[in-house]
């Protein structure tokens, strides 16, 4: 009888030890998943921003869909202007010439390591796509191009998108948005860069 009681107590102690270890492991795993997943999403947003910059050098504006972005980058050419002479020397303005050459946009995109086929997809998002918007607006009496590309944490955090995980990080909100750009101002910085 004493042996049975000791075995039951040993089982209870082992169960409590497991619960203790698991309660420590869960917040550590959560934090590492947030960092890993957010880092992948930020890297993809940076790639999209670079692709939008190349697109803008071709068209003068930003792409409002990923299909348009991909089509122009696959078929467009990026102008490169070579200045011969010193345009800052007012005594030598007659000897300044500009030579424009063109390079396939795909060469620039490939050199940046950007894959256009997967650019629209949110990492860890299981097929979710980034929300993309582009337009023009009047800002300080000037018409400017604006762009915004975003996604929310709940699209890439998987099982960790449950609000219960906020107890491990007071600043964590699964409905918060991670983005670059702003539809109300000419700004292409990301909200992770603060």
pLDDT value for 41: 97
* pTM, two decimal places: 0.82
Please give the residue that has the higher pLDDT: either 11 or 73.
73
- Residue 189 forms part of a structural domain: no
109 Cβ partners below 8 Å, 6+ apart?
51, 54, 73, 116
- Residue 12 forms part of a structural domain: no
Q: Confirm if 157 and 123 have CB atoms less than 8 A apart.
A: no
- Residue 101 forms part of a structural domain: no
- Residue 26 forms part of a structural domain: no
- Residue 106 forms part of a structural domain: no
Cα–Cα dist 166/19, whole Å: 20
pLDDT value for 69: 95
Q: How many residues does the chain have?
A: 194
Residue 175, domain extent? 33-75+115-181
Start-to-end C-alpha separation, the chain: 65
- Residue 10 forms part of a structural domain: no
- Residue 190 forms part of a structural domain: no
- Residue 188 forms part of a structural domain: no
Give the chain's mean pLDDT.
89
């Amino acid at each position: 009888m004493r042996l049975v009681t000791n075995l039951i107590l040993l089982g209870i102690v082992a169960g409590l030890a497991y619960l203790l270890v698991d309660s420590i492991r869960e917040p550590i795993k959560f934090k590492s998943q947030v960092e890993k997943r957010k880092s992948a999403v930020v890297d993809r947003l940076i790639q999209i921003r670079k692709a939008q910059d190349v697109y803008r050098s071709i068209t003068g504006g930003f792409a409002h869909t990923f299909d348009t972005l991909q089509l122009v980058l696959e078929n467009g050419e990026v102008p490169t202007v070579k200045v011969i002479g010193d345009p800052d020397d007012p005594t030598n303005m007659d000897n300044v010439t500009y030579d424009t050459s063109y390079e396939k946009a795909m060469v620039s995109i490939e050199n940046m390591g950007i894959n256009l086929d997967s650019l629209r997809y949110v990492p860890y998002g299981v097929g979710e796509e980034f929300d993309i918007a582009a337009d023009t607006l009047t800002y300080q009496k000037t018409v400017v191009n604006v762009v915004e590309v975003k996604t929310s944490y709940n699209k890439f955090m998987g099982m960790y998108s449950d609000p219960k995980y906020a107890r491990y990080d007071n600043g964590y909100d699964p409905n918060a948005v991670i983005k670059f750009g702003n539809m109300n101002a000419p700004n292409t910085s990301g909200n992770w860069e603060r």
